[in-house]
Structures are given as structure tokens and as C-alpha cells.
Amino acid sequence: MLRSMTGFATARGGGEGFSWTWELRSVNGKGLDMRLRVPDWIEGLEAGLRARLAGAMARGNVNLTLKVARDQGAGALAVNPARLEDALSALEVVEARAAERGVALAPATAADLLALRGIFDTPSDDTGTEALTPVLVADMEPVLAAFLKMREAEGQALARVLTAQLDAIERLTEAAAEAAEARLPETRRAFALALARVTETVQADEARVAQEMAMMAVKQDVTEEIDRLRAHVAAARELLAAGSPVGRKLDFLMQEFNREANTLCSKAQNAALTALGLELKTVIDQMREQVQNVE
């Protein structure tokens, strides 16, 4: 299936006390250029996401943005029961020892106890990231699937456009072949007139004249260009049928199309054939622009 390099997908998710937002987009590129903006405090996340993206596509400038935030309440203070028991036991020992010595102590309050270090469990920003990494990598799959689906839909639209342009190139190539055949009588008359003018004024060697005339005929012959254009059309159809990644091959083939059309125009020496050659160049340029979108 032919795929475009243009795609977009976004989604929201959550788990492990966090919520997050995905955004995945891509545009045309000569190769695969991936730029990831993901939280660097989640260990191993970027490497996992990058590997998955690289395995899913071959070309394009790809941008992935992931924003992760801790859910409200996920970072709330929580009493550490074991540390509280230790603190209460220590307080009992202190008060009993003070009473034995007759030392008066101010009554301890709950605030005094809560101020002790370790009574509260306060999760840090990177708590639980080991569990979060595989969750996020798995959660990207539906985002990636939607993204690739869009690239495939764009690719199918591209395939229809490219097929229509190939049909036009094929039609123009056959018309050029007919025009080249039709110009032969005119070309022969032009050669005959040229030969008559030369022989009227100059004593020329007939063999040499015949050789020069043959070389002129070869220079105006477009049979090879027509045959190569036909071969390029067939090759392009095979690439479209094969599906992505064929963008680089199609791009190279468009250069070959353009080369043959240029040569055809330079050899035409005929208004009808020149017009067809120029029309060919126009369609080829239009097709080349579309090929830049193919993965």
C-alpha cells in the first residue's frame, strides 16, 4: 500500500497516578528524521518510543510530543504508620523518664508529632517511573495506529493522482510516437531541399553528403526517447503497485522522465511534436511534485 509522509494523531491517557497527552505529526523529508519531546525523568521512555517509531515508517520529518502530569491527589501527604508508632513509643519513654526525675514537660501536640521527619510519605516526581515506562510505550500504540492510518489514507489519494498522471504521460508518449511518424515525409522533403541547395552551389562528394544526411536523421530520431518513456511508465506502475517505501525510487524515476522529455523537445524540429513534448514536461513536473509526498 502506498503511504504519504503526511500524518497526524493525538490522544489522552492516564494510569499509575499520572495523566498524559500525545501528539504525533509528520511532514515530507528526504529520510527519517525523528524529534521527540518527552519527559526526561521517565527512564528508558525515549529510547523505547524512538525504536517503535523507527520500525513503523521509513521516511518523513516526525515529531512526537508527550506531556505527562501527576494526577491531583496522587502526590498528597500520607502518614507513615510505622514511623508514627516509633515516635509515640519514643514520646512515652521520654515522658516516663522525665516524670521519674520530676521534670515537667509541656504536653506534646499532634502538630509536634507531625513535624517529626519521616512521619509523612511524600512521593517525589520520579516515583514509580519504572512502572510508567512500559505503560506509556503500550499507550502509544493506538496513537501510532491512527497516525499510520492517516498516512495510508493520504497515500491512497496520492496513488489515484499519480495513476492519472501516468495515464496522461502514457497518452502523450503514444501521441508523440504518432507525431514523430507523421513528420517523416516532411523531414524527407526538408533533407531533399537541403541536399539540392548544397549540390547546386558546391561540388560535394555524394558519399559524404549521404553520411551527413544520415547523421542529421539520427539526431532527429526520437525512437529511443519514446521507448524509454514507455519503459519508465511501466516501471512507475510497478512501483505504485508494490507500495511504500518507494518514494526515493519514484523520485529518481521522475528525473529520468524529465530527461527523456527534454531530449524529445530538443530533437522535435516539428511544431506538433514540440507541443507534445512541452505538455509531457508539464505533466511530469506536476507528478514529480506529488511524488515528494510519497514515503
Query: What is the residue type of 238?
Result: E
* Least confident segment among 21-30, 106-115, 226-235, 267-276: 106-115
- Does any domain span residue 1? no
Q: Is residue 2 part of a domain?
A: no
State the total domains in the chain.
Answer: 3
More confident residue, 258 or 77: 258
Handedness of CA 150, 151, 152, 158 (dihedral sign): positive
Q: Are residues 286 and 174 in the same domain?
A: yes
Over the stretch 211-238, which tens digit does the pLDDT of each residue have? 655 555 555 688 899 999 999 999 999 9
d(CA 256, CA 244): 20
Looking at the fold, whether 188 and 287 belong to one and the same domain comes out as: yes
> Which CATH number belongs to the domain containing residue 17 in this structure?
3.30.230.10
In 3D space, the residue among 55, 70, 72, 64 whose CA is nearest the CA of residue 22 turns out to be 64
Residue 233 contacts residue 275 (beta carbons within 8 Å): no
Contacts of 76 (CB under 8 A, 6+ apart): none
CA dihedral 182, 184, 186, 190 (to 10 degrees): 160
Q: Is residue 268's pLDDT more than 60?
A: yes
pLDDT of 190 above 80: no
CA-CA-CA-CA dihedral for 191, 195, 197, 199, to nearest 10: 180
**Whole-angstrom Cα distance, residue 132 to residue 266?**
65
Q: Give the tens place of pLDDT for each residue, 75-123.
A: 555 677 888 888 888 888 888 888 888 888 888 787 676 667 666 554 4
Q: For residue 225, what is the enclosing H or E element?
A: helix 223-242
Same domain? 173 vs 45: no
If one compares 151 and 77, the residue with the highest pLDDT of the two is 151
Place of cell 523520485: 251
pLDDT of residue 122: 45
CA distances (Å), 170 to each of 155, 183, 225, 286, in order?
22, 20, 13, 15
| Domain that includes residue 54, residue range | 7-73+126-151
Do 224 and 162 lie in one domain? The reply is yes
In three-state secondary structure terms, 293 is coil
Cα angle 36-140-56, degrees, rounded to a multiple of 5: 75
